[in-house]
Amino acid sequence: MNSRFRITRWHVMGWIFLATLLFFAVAPMVWMLITSFKSQFAALKYPPELIPQNPNLEQYERLLSPKNDVGRQFLRYMLNSIWVSTATTVFGVAVAVPAAYAFARFRFPGRKALFFSVLFRNMFPAVVFLMPLFIMMRWMGLVNTYTSLIITYLTFGLPLSIWLLKGFYDNIPVELEQAARIDGCTRFQAFYMVVMPLSAPGIIATAIYSFITAWNEYVYALTFLNDDEKLTLPVGLQRFFAEYATNWPGLMAASFIMSVPVVVMFLILQKYFVRALTEGAVKA
Amino acid sequence: MAQVDFVNVDKSYGSFRAVKDVSFTVGDGEFVALVGPSGCGKTTTLNLIAGLLDLTGGEIRVSGKVINDLDPKDRDIAMVFQNYALYPNKTVAQNLGFPLRMRKVAKAEIKDKVEEAARLLDITHLLDRYPRELSGGQQQRVALGRALVRDPQVFLMDEPLSNLDAKLRVQMRAELKRFHQDLNATVIYVTHDQLEAMTMADKMAVMSGGVLQQYDAPERVFEEPANLFVASFVGSPAMNLLPATRVERDGTVFATGEGWELTLSDRNGAAARRSETDAIILGARHSSLALHETETSGAIPARIYTVEPTGDLTYAHVEVGDKTFVISVPPDRRIAADQPVWIGFDQNKLHLFDAKTEQRIAQD
């Protein structure tokens, strides 16, 4: 007799719904992984092999070795992506932390208007700004530079970063800083020694968010960069599709490598991320 | 320890004046309570001493030195906050040691001082815990310890007991008072609870609307409230106030109201004459009034509204015209609602106020 939990029709329907969603989310990734271990020939076989008969790491070795053209190119893209994403993250956090703190703590004229204007940007789809931004970048002579991408990613990522972090600072009692200042801290020390450690989860979440956004971005990278040397991974991968259209395992291996940093980061830091997203919403 | 002088202190937010021209002196080693209803400017005043807010006008001096423009860290003060403001990511020992660490005190000395403070407050067994693992009373002690460890010139306390339950509050009240006596520390203590101020402070500064209403020893504030606000704020139950008209016949002064007339004693009559207008207000504490069940000369007619037994004393709520008086009587007194009674005044304990200026009229 289990009266506390009875399986109803709604439960069953819910499970089916979730299973469907899960299938659509996971199946492509599984397929990507399986294909990446196959030989080129096996990848084209019909009906396809669900489990590769001769799994090998040939594609990974080729992509990650600087000894051949493909590997050199791939590693180049990866380095470019790491550089752009890291710069976006570092600058993003460096701007978002003080901005969010100011919004949370200080009362200044136009504070509300400014805060909502920060969010206003997020109401438009990113593509809307593609042409205007391109024209601006060309005018400033920034086309085909990483600076153009970093600036663009910052303007897109900062609003949410600031919003997330403000939620954190709002929940840190102002008395803690006052106590710190009386206990011998300057205003900056009070922030650095007391508030920063308490908002670390928020800062980490913000950093991951900035990094992932920059890492995955495609449209702007495609538009702003021309030199093959300078491409980021998402765009580079697209080139691969064109050039090596028949090498499916190679493409899948490249795609898998690209998703690894995001997945790993998310797995390690997901508890901070979830906290950050809920913190602002629900007052503790 | 130190003397603190407030000289014409003013604090405005735009056009709103939160603290208006406040001047008083806290003597070396004195325990002063800033007391008043919420929004009266008492916490603002405390934050002005702490340096968390900037003065708009006037001066604050500690040991004769003007501290208006000093950073909080340079004022050599310590503060205990209402919510304790313990650093959640630091252990109790680290919390206690933080003010010393920030002042670059040697590690060994920090350890000694932290242990000494912990021993004094009986929290030695908690040193390795985090604030979230402590009860409210323990957090309160740690907050006190963090102020204590530095041996500051002045202690500031912002409603430090208001987050505790009633029983613990009474206990901590006694401990704080004892702590003040042992350390001979200068303490400025903010509270909205007049009883806390009465029981603990050497002097109380009663504030309302940003204005310092009265600054005196608690018993003086109780016995000679400076104005109607102080009279009604200090003491529980509040002082009974009865508006009256001053009438003079054949050299005798009477206070009259609707359906009653009270002959004032020579001393009170002389005082009443000093009122700017005929409108005066009589004030009497619950314990200075007598309740008669038969008509008595010198007593005014009234009617019992309700009776509240509290054990030690019974409070009779009595209607005089459209005013309600609270009068305490012994618990064995048999009285009932709607019973007609007569209220007798102890003229030596009667307070007189000028209804126009709302100020006390001195009786001498």
> ipTM, 2 decimals?
0.84
**Amino acid identity at B275:** S
- Which pLDDT score, from 0 to 100, does residue B23 have? 96
Q: At what angle do helices A69-105 and A111-120 cross, to 10 degrees?
A: 160
Residue A183 lies in a domain: yes
Q: What is the pLDDT of residue A177?
A: 93
**Of the residues B209, B233, B257, which one is the last residue of a structural domain?**
B233
Other Cβ atoms within 10 Å of B204 Cβ, number = 29
SS3 A107: coil
Q: Does B136 lie in the same domain as B278?
A: no
Q: What is the pLDDT confidence band of residue A245, given thresholds at 50, 70 and 90?
A: low
Do both B19 and B152 map to the same domain?
Answer: yes
Residue B360 lies in a domain: no
| B72 → closest Cβ in A173, A175, A181 | A181
A175 membership: H or E segment, kind and range: helix A174-182
Residue B253 has pLDDT above 90, yes or no: yes
Boundary of a domain, candidates B233, B257, B275: B233
Q: What confidence tens digit (pLDDT) does each residue in A58-85 have?
A: 889 888 888 888 888 889 999 999 999 9
Q: Is the pLDDT assigned to residue B158 strictly greater than 70?
A: yes
Same-domain check for residues B264 and B298: yes
User: Where are the alpha helices (H) located in B149-213, listed in sequence order?
Assistant: 166-183, 194-200
Asked whether A199 and A89 are in contact (CB, 8 A), the reply is no
Q: How near does any CA of chain A get to the CA of B20, in Å?
A: 23
What mean pLDDT do residues B185-195 have? Answer: 93
C-beta of residue B59 within 8 angstroms of C-beta of residue B101 = no
Whether A218 maps to a domain, the answer reads yes
In this structure, the answer to whether residues B221 and B247 fall within a common structural domain is: no
Whether residue B362 lies inside any domain: the answer is no
In a domain, A3, yes or no: no
Structure tokens at A98: 């003080």
Count: domains in chain A: 1
The whole-number pLDDT of residue B183 equals 86
What average pLDDT does this structure show over B177-182? 88
Same structural domain, B194 and B266:
no
A118: left (phi over 0), alpha (psi -120 to 50) or beta: alpha
Is the domain of B23 the same as that of B89? Answer: yes
Distance CA A199, CA A105 (A): 14
CB A174 within 8 A of CB A190: no
Q: Please list the alpha-helical segments (H only) found in B122-262.
A: 136-148, 166-183, 194-200, 218-223, 228-233
Handedness of CA B264, B269, B271, B272 (dihedral sign): positive
Query: DSSP class of residue A194?
Result: I
Contact list in A for residue B51 (CB cut-off 8 A) is: 181-182
Contact (Cβ atoms closer than 8 angstroms) between residue B13 and residue B39: no
pLDDT (average), residues B310-331: 92
Does residue A66 belong to any structural domain of this protein?
A: yes
Do B305 and B165 lie in a common domain?
Answer: no
Cα A265 from Cα A250, distance rounded (Å): 24
Q: Answer yes or no: do B274 and B199 share one domain.
A: no
* Tokens standing for residue B89: 């990511």
Tell me, yes or no, whether A173 lies in a domain.
Answer: yes
Q: Are B264 and B272 in contact (CB under 8 A)?
A: yes
pTM of this structure = 0.81
Q: Cβ distance B320 to B300 under 8 Å? A: yes
pLDDT averaged over chain A?
Answer: 86
- Host domain of residue B247: 241-354
DSSP H or E stretch at residue B6: strand B4-13
Q: Which residue of B has its CA nearest to A187?
A: B71
Same domain, residue pair B333 and B257: yes
pLDDT of residue A280: 43
In this structure, is residue B102 part of a structural domain? yes
CA B317 to chain centre: 25
| In-domain check, residue A37 | no
CATH of the domain at A192: 1.10.3720.10
**pLDDT score, position A273:** 67
Strands B77-80 and B31-35: unpaired
Residue A284 burial (10 A CB sphere; 0-12, 13-18, 19+): exposed
Q: Is B14 on the interface with A (CB under 8 A)?
A: no
Question: What's the mean pLDDT in B76-90?
Answer: 92
DSSP B237: S
**Within-domain flag for B359:** no
Q: Is A216 within the bounds of a domain?
A: yes
Task: Give the helix, strand, coil percentages of chain A, each rounded to 5.
Answer: 75, 0, 25
- Please compute the mean of the pLDDT values over residues A107-113 and round it to a whole number: 86
What DSSP element (H or E) covers B9? strand B4-13
Q: What are the tens digits of pLDDT across the range B101-126?
A: 999 999 999 999 999 999 988 899 99
Cα(B31)–Cα(B23) distance, integer angstroms: 17
> B94 by DSSP, 3-state: which?
helix
Mean pLDDT score, A7-28: 92
Domain count, chain B: 2
Instruction: Give the range of the structural domain holding residue A265, as residue numbers without chain letter.
Output: 57-279
Q: How far apart are CA A170 and CA A183, in angstroms?
A: 22
Query: Under an 8 A CB cutoff, do B99 and A178 touch?
Result: no
Chain B hits for A183, CB-CB cut-off 8 Å, are 73, 78, 98-99, 102, 146, 150
SS3 call for B4: strand
Half-sphere exposure of B18 (CA within 13 A, CB side): 18
CATH number for the domain spanning B330: value is: 2.40.50.140
- Give the distance from residue A168's alpha carbon to the nearest chain B alpha carbon, in angstroms: 15
- CA distance readout (Å), B191 to A177, B23, B36: 22, 19, 7
The minimal CB distance from B81 to the residues A175, A189, A198 is found for A175
Same domain flag for B331 and B295: yes
pLDDT grade for A190, boundaries at 50, 70 and 90: very high
Q: Determine the pLDDT at residue A283.
A: 35
What confidence tens digit (pLDDT) does each residue in B287-302 have? 999 999 999 888 999 9
On whether residue A41 sits in a domain, the answer given is no
| Secondary structure of residue B152 in the 3-state scheme | coil
Q: Could you tell me which residues come within 8 angstroms of residue B231 by beta carbon, excluding any fewer than 6 positions away?
A: B225, B238, B239, B241, B283, B351, B353, B360
In a domain, B139, yes or no: yes
Residue B364 lies in a domain: no
pLDDT tier for residue B153 given thresholds of 50, 70 and 90? very high
Residues B27 and B10 in one domain: yes
Q: What is the token pair recorded at B316?
A: 């009779």
CATH number of the domain residue B42 falls in: 3.40.50.300
B361 domain-assigned: no
Do B4 and B34 meet the contact criterion of CB atoms below 8 Å apart?
Answer: no
Contact A118, A158 (CB under 8 A): yes
Q: Do A182 and B103 lie within an 8 Å CB cutoff?
A: no
Q: Which of B203, B233, B263 lies at the terminal end of a domain, its last residue?
A: B233
- Chain B, nearest residue to A175 by Cα: B85
Both B260 and B217 in one domain: the answer is no
Output the six-digit token pair for A117. 């204007």
